[in-house]
């Protein structure tokens, strides 16, 4: 089998490398020449554990190629995956599909023989049908099927998520297209992964409904956490107590500063807009979006409170800027709401993140970026953990106490235990636990 992957962003690159690991011959296509050159040299533009090795070994085995020549790649392919960006459109929050339709047109012109055109990017319900129309209008004689095959990768564990998924969802409406997809995912059939075949619209809806449900679950536990604080309950025990009920499940009940990243904020908003357009508003999701936005802003207030109600002229040490660990991704990270609010309130902010500081430098003003976690701390009034990187889970308390003005910690990811912090002599604030 041979495929072309259009777009070497996060989803395209990970999916391309993983399909080649399955034994498929993959050509990854991107318009960005310098990116393709770098990929050919084995330089990976994103931080994703294990991706560099996977790309290197499959490129060396001759199964993974990189090119800017879409026509050549598509001509030879049994299936062409569209994995280009679908950013939020400025102004209305709808997904911007211009890259998807642009790719569909180019693919139509280049196709040679029966081709399955697969949308891998997260696209609103109805997009597959539109892609079908664009291809038909560009090339009346085209022999093709459009398939929806959404991705459920998490940044930081994307390779494992692709190789050992809970399920694969495929919206394919002809037996011919389904057979091509079965062949591509042959390896997953061998490990008995549930593979769900649906129509185009259902598959597209599953992706949005999944992300929206998870975002709702997180928002639910975040609000319960706020209530726990007032009521003297411990949110972790509450999460465990409800999560052991198989109908609820234990995952995605970790409270924090609000969800961020390239997917949940964009997808929740896009589904809200789509639902309104269809005249079937999703009131729960609308509320989730609103609560989560406000929550990120409110997190800065916790740090101000820990500093005694005013941060003017005070030094705040920030550990973690990425929206979650094991990624350099800063998109919609809670830090983007918290840090500027502290700077605006007159704080001197020193920050460290293991991977995302290059990105952060472009997005934040008035921040001193430090080389190590401990470099943020000399003379600091408050130490705040914004991302739960492993290296922040075993900080040296004695060293922190010697460096800081006073040992005050705001732990927005509940990395530490309140009791342990009290014993260590810290004034400690976390989320949803009595202190």
Q: Can you give the binding site for ligand UGA, defined by CB under 6 A?
A: 122, 151-155, 211, 214, 218, 252-254, 256, 259-261, 263-264, 323-324
CA-closest candidate to residue 82, choices 90, 91, 73? 73
Going by the DSSP 8-state scheme, the letter that residue 89 receives in this structure is: P
Confirm whether 28 is a catalytic residue: no
Cβ atoms of residues 135 and 104 within 8 Å: yes
Does the annotation place 269 within a ligand binding site? no
Nearer to ligand UGA, 28 or 271 (CB): 271
- Annotated ligand binding at 66? The verdict is no
Judge whether 260 is annotated as a binding position: yes
Shortest distance in whole angstroms from residue 247 CB to ligand UGA: 17
Shortest distance, position 425 Cβ to ligand UGA, whole Å: 29
Catalytic residue among 18, 28, 228, 263: 263
Complex with ligand UGA: residue 141 or 166, whichever CB lies closer: 166
The single residue listed with the structure tokens 């998870």 is 214
Nearer of residues 213 and 374 to ligand UGA, judged by Cβ = 213
Ligand-binding annotation for 19, yes or no, is: no
251 is in an annotated binding site: no
- Write the CA distances from 242 to 213, 224, 249, 250, 433, integer angstroms: 17, 12, 8, 8, 16
The burial of 235, by beta-carbon neighbours within 10 Å (0-12 exposed, 13-18 middle, 19 or more buried), is given as: buried
Q: Which is nearer to ligand UGA, 214 or 351 (CB)?
A: 214
Q: Minimum Å distance from CB 416 to ligand UGA?
A: 17
CB 47 to ligand UGA: min, Å: 12
Cα separation, 234 vs 195, in Å, equals 39
Q: Contact 178/170 with Cβ under 8 angstroms? A: yes
Burial class (CB in 10 A: 0-12, 13-18, 19+), 420: exposed
DSSP 3-state of 402: helix
Name the residue nearer to ligand UGA (CB basis): 221 or 275.
221
Rounded to 10°, the helix 200-231/283-306 angle is 40
Burial of 354 per CB tally in 10 Å (0-12, 13-18, 19+): buried
> Considering the complex, what minimum distance in angstroms separates the CB of residue 254 from ligand UGA?
3
407 is in an annotated binding site: no
| Known binding-site positions | 30, 35, 86, 122, 152-155, 207, 252-256, 260, 266, 324, 331
Give catalytic residue positions: 263
| Known binding-site positions for NAD(+) | 30, 35, 86, 122, 155, 266, 331
| Known binding-site positions for substrate | 152-155, 207, 252-256, 260, 324
């Amino acid at each position: 089998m041979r495929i072309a992957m259009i777009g070497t962003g996060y989803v395209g690159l990970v999916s391309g490398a993983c399909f080649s690991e399955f034994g498929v011959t993959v050509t990854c296509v991107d318009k960005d020449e310098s990116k393709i050159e770098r990929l050919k040299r084995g330089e990976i533009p994103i931080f994703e554990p294990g991706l560099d090795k996977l790309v290197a070994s499959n490129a060396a085995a001759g199964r993974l190629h990189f090119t800017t020549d879409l026509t050549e790649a598509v001509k030879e392919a049994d299936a062409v995956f569209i994995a280009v960006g679908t950013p939020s459109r400025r102004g209305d929050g709808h997904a911007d599909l211009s890259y998807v339709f642009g790719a569909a047109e180019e693919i139509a012109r280049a196709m040679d023989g029966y081709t399955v055109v697969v949308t891998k990017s997260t696209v609103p319900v109805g997009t597959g049908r539109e892609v079908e129309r664009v291809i038909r209008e560009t090339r009346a004689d085209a022999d093709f099927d459009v398939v929806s095959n959404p991705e459920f990768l998490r940044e930081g564990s994307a390779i494992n998520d692709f190789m050992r998924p809970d399920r694969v969802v495929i919206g394919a409406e002809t037996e011919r297209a389904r057979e091509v997809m079965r062949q591509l995912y042959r390896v997953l059939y061998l490990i008995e992964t549930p593979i769900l075949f649906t129509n185009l619209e259902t598959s597209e809806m599953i992706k949005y409904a999944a992300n929206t449900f998870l975002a709702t679950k997180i928002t639910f536990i975040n609000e319960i956490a706020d209530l726990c604080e007032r009521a003297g309950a411990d949110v972790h025990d509450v999460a465990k107590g409800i999560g052991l009920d198989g109908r609820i499940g234990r995952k995605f009940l970790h409270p924090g500063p609000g969800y961020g990243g390239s997917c949940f904020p964009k997808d929740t908003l896009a589904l809200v807009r789509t639902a309104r357009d269809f005249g079937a508003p999703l009131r729960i999701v609308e509320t989730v979006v609103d609560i989560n936005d406000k929550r990120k802003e409110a997190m800065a207030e916790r740090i101000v409170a820990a500093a005694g109600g005013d941060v003017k002229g005070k030094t705040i040490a920030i550990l973690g800027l990425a929206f979650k660990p094991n990624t350099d991704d800063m998109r919609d990270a809670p830090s983007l709401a918290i840090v500027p609010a502290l700077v605006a309130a007159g704080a001197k902010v020193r920050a460290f993140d293991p991977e995302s500081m290059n990105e952060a430098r472009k997005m934040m003003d008035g921040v001193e970026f430090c080389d190590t976690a401990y470099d943020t701390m000399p003379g600091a009034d408050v130490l705040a953990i914004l991302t739960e990187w492993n290296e922040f889970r075993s900080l040296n308390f004695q060293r922190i106490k010697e460096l800081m003005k006073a040992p005050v910690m705001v732990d927005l990811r509940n990395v530490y235990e309140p009791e342990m912090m009290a014993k260590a002599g810290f004034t400690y604030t976390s989320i949803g636990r009595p202190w």
